[in-house]
Amino acid sequence: MVGIVLISHSPQLAVEVAELAAQIGGRDVPIAAAGGTDDGRLGTSITKVADAIATVDQGDGVILLMDLGSAVLTAKTLLDEHPRPRVFLADAPFVEGAISALVTSGGGADVKAVLTAAEEARHIGKL
């Protein structure tokens, strides 16, 4: 199953979005919250992101969803320093992308389909 990592500046936001997505998308999908700095403040942590990837990686790939611009920078920096061929950055809305990714992963889709579902979530609610 494809794993999902939620990277947020807020530890609480990351945990709450993970919980919401798990309630909607199913609890069997591996999901991890990587929110805040190493000392619990607002910000992001390369160490937390790396640990979260290791936690959810079951061999089928991992999708990273980020809340704000510097979370993207943290994720990109980690992947530049330690390339992971099965780990992908999603250009997706944080909440809707997480839910779409979890539902799609839970349905048994491959990593590319999960990434596409997360990114297409930006169209949710548009007429």
Identify the active-site residue in 1, 4, 5, 9: 9
Mean pLDDT of the region 11-15 = 97
Q: What is the pLDDT of residues 40-82, one digit of tens each?
A: 999 999 999 999 999 999 999 999 999 998 999 999 999 999 9
**Residue 24, φ and ψ in degrees, nearest 5:** -85, -45
Establish whether 82 is a catalytic residue: no
Please report, for the chain, the start and end positions of each structural domain, with discontinuous segments joined by +. 3-123
Instruction: Give the three-class secondary structure for 71.
Output: helix
Calculate what percentage of the chain has a pLDDT beyond 70: 98
Eight-class DSSP state of 30: -
Encoded tokens for 108: 């048994």
Q: Which CATH class is domain 3-123?
A: alpha beta
The radius of gyration computed from the CA coordinates of the chain, to the nearest angstrom, equals 13
Encoded tokens for 89: 């950055």
Q: How far is the C-alpha of 97 from the C-alpha of 67, rounded, in Å?
A: 10
Q: The pTM is what?
A: 0.95
